[in-house]
Amino acid sequence: MAHPLMFDADDPLLARLRELALAFPGAAEKVSHGRPAFFTTKVFAYYGGTTKQEHNAGLHPPRLSVLLEPDERLALLDEGALVPAYLGPSGWVAVDLQDPDWVRVAELLDSSFRVTATKRLVAELDARRPHAAP
């Protein structure tokens, strides 16, 4: 049995997140377990992330779930991020998108992309960006 969709396709938050996520080299979108997932060979972001209590209550607040390096994950948890049900034990964290800081969202997407993407795609991403002056 397929999972029910747990998002509104016309959600403006999803539209902005989609624009940011699909700008990464090789990025594509699919629906996984009822939620939009952005991936290359592995998923680097989900639109969604609930606690088990929220999931069981049918609540689906707008959140971004990402997979980060352990130190960045801990720092984000200290800032109030939550451990999403099902994905949390694998190192994923979720941040609220109620009033998003899109610069921070882009940084989180970048970090998660770098953890999950191939070396070739990360190199392609780096080649797109201007290098900082020494």
Domains and CATH numbers, the chain: 18-122 (3.90.1150.30)
DSSP-based three-state secondary structure for 94: strand
Convert the pLDDT of each residue in 117-130 to its tens digit: 999 999 999 999 77
pLDDT at 133 over 50: no
Average pLDDT, rounded, for the chain: 88
Cα gap 108→101, rounded to integer Å: 11
- Is pLDDT larger for residue 15 or for residue 3? 15
What would the pLDDT profile of 35-70 be if each residue is shown by its tens digit?
899 999 999 999 986 666 655 566 567 899 999 999
Taking 60 as the threshold, does the pLDDT of residue 134 lie above it? no
pTM for this model (two decimals): 0.89
